[in-house]
A = this chain, B = another copy of it.
Amino acid sequence: MKIQVVKNILDANDRMASDLRNLFNEEKIYVINLMSSPGAGKTSLVECTILALRNLYRIAVIEGDIQDTFDADRVAALGIPAVQINTGGACHMDANMVREALPALNLEAVDLLIVENVGNLVCPAEFRIGENAKIMILSTPEGSDKPAKYPLMFQESAAMIINKTDLLPYVDFDLEKARRAARGLNKDLQIFEVSCKNGKGIDQWISWLTAQIDSFRQ
């Protein structure tokens, strides 16, 4: 009975996500769904990505948080259209929340839409929101055992960004182990090692993302 309820919710979400995907295709908007644990660096990566790409693409951001507007404020400070969704306690974003946010954006003037999900390594991976790609961040202080413990996120993502590499000397994080475990769950996973703090590795992430966007928009 309980499983049935969950399945219905997910089915309804998938239908709405497909509708969103069709809309984004028509408007030629490349959409990423950015996910991670709390504090892994989602908003910092959004900021880095905006700074690297704002002269190439027209960018907009949807920020998902349980409450507050801190993240949207950080994005708006860069001169980028930002919509804040407060999920009201919900631990993930769903397609309906994204749909509700769209009237606040001028979609005709958007090439790249970044949706920053609620900080949670579990539930967001279950809900499609019309994205082209799910992108996950794993930060080095979280530890290299996370793929084994939260497998769905790694299986669903097109790319994993290992963030906070500047902390590698001070934390017990085995890069090779993390890469191997993540690829064991998802052999096609793209992996980038970056530090949003010192900028190291960001260029490789940006090159890959640019190629994805250009290939989609051709």
Mark A residues whose CB is within 8 Å of B.
2, 5, 9, 37-39, 65-68, 70, 89, 91, 118-123, 139, 141-143, 145-146, 148-152, 164, 166-167, 170-171
Contact = CB atoms under 8 A, between A and B. Distances in A.
27 contacts: A37-B39, A37-B121, A38-B149, A39-B139, A39-B142, A39-B143, A39-B146, A65-B149, A66-B122, A66-B150, A66-B151, A67-B149, A67-B151, A68-B149, A70-B145, A70-B149, A91-B91, A91-B123, A118-B122, A119-B150, A122-B123, A141-B141, A141-B167, A166-B170, A167-B167, A167-B170, A167-B171
A70 B37 contact: no
Contacts of A142: 37-39
A152 B118 CA distance: 14
Contact of A120 (B121, B145, B148): B121
A60 to B, nearest CB: 21
A149 B66 CA distance: 6
A166 B2 CA distance: 44
Given A39-B143, A70-B149, 13 more contacts: A5-B5, A38-B121, A38-B150, A39-B141, A66-B151, A66-B152, A68-B148, A91-B91, A91-B120, A119-B121, A119-B150, A123-B123, A167-B171
Contacts of A89: 152
A182 to B, nearest CB: 14
A66 B122 CA distance: 9
